[in-house]
Amino acid sequence: MAGGSSEPFTIDVSTRIRRLPPYLFARLNALKAEKRRAGADVIDLGMGNPIDPSPDFVIEKLCEAAHEAKNHRYSVSVGLYNLRREVALKYKRRYGVELDPDREVVATIGSKEGFSHLMLALLTAGDTVVVGDPAYPIHMYAVTLAGGSVMSVPLGNDDAFLERIEHVLQNLQPRPKLVIFNYPHNPSALTVEPEFWTKVVALAKRFGVLVISDFAYGETCYDGYKAPSFLAAAGSKEVGVEFSTMSKPYNMAGWRVGFCCGNHEMVRALSTIKGYYDYGHFAPIQIASIMALRHGDAFVQEQSAIYEKRRDLLVAGLRKIGWHVETPRASMFVWAKVSEKHLAGRSTLDFCFRLLEDADVAIAPGAGFGPNGEGFVRIALVENELRIKQALRQIDAALNGKTKPQRPTKKKPDGPVHDSHSSIIGG
pLDDT tens string, the chain, 427 residues long: the values are 455 666 778 888 888 888 877 776 778 888 889 999 999 999 999 989 999 999 999 999 999 999 999 999 999 999 999 999 999 999 999 999 999 999 999 999 999 999 999 999 999 999 999 999 999 999 999 999 999 999 999 999 999 999 999 999 999 999 999 999 999 999 999 999 999 999 999 999 999 999 999 999 999 999 999 999 999 999 999 999 999 999 999 999 999 999 999 999 999 999 999 999 988 899 999 999 999 999 999 999 999 999 999 999 999 999 999 999 999 999 999 999 999 999 999 999 999 999 999 999 999 999 999 999 999 999 999 999 999 999 999 999 999 876 655 554 444 444 433 344 445 666 7
User: Quick one: 246 and 319 in the same domain?
Assistant: no
Pairing of strands 149-154, 324-325: unpaired
Within 13 Å and on the Cβ side, how many CA atoms surround 182? Answer: 24
User: Quick one: 105 and 232 in the same domain?
Assistant: yes
Within 13 Å and on the Cβ side, how many CA atoms surround 349? Answer: 13
Using CB atoms within 10 Å of the CB of residue 152, give its burial: 0 to 12 exposed, 13 to 18 middle, 19+ buried: middle
Segments in 126-247 forming alpha helices (H)? 138-145, 159-171, 194-207, 236-239
* Single pTM value for the model: 0.91
Helix orientation angle between 283-295 and 81-95, rounded to the nearest 10 degrees:
20
Domain count, the chain: 2
User: Quick one: 287 and 390 in the same domain?
Assistant: no
User: Quick one: 161 and 184 in the same domain?
Assistant: yes
User: Quick one: 218 and 284 in the same domain?
Assistant: yes
User: Quick one: 166 and 268 in the same domain?
Assistant: yes
**Would residue 421 count as lying in a domain?**
no
**Would residue 425 count as lying in a domain?**
no
Q: Cβ distance 243 to 259 under 8 Å?
A: yes
Range of the domain at 261: 56-295
User: Quick one: 288 and 303 in the same domain?
Assistant: no
User: Quick one: 86 and 228 in the same domain?
Assistant: yes
**Would residue 395 count as lying in a domain?**
yes
Residue 18: its pLDDT value, please?
A: 83
Within 13 Å and on the Cβ side, how many CA atoms surround 191? Answer: 23
User: Quick one: 82 and 205 in the same domain?
Assistant: yes
For residue 363, give the CATH number of its domain: 3.90.1150.10
Residue 401: its pLDDT value, please?
A: 77
Residue 378 Cα distances to 41, 159, 323, angstroms: 20, 25, 13
**Would residue 369 count as lying in a domain?**
yes
CB atoms within 10 A of CB 35: 17
For residue 248, give the CATH number of its domain: 3.40.640.10
**Would residue 424 count as lying in a domain?**
no
User: Quick one: 250 and 355 in the same domain?
Assistant: no
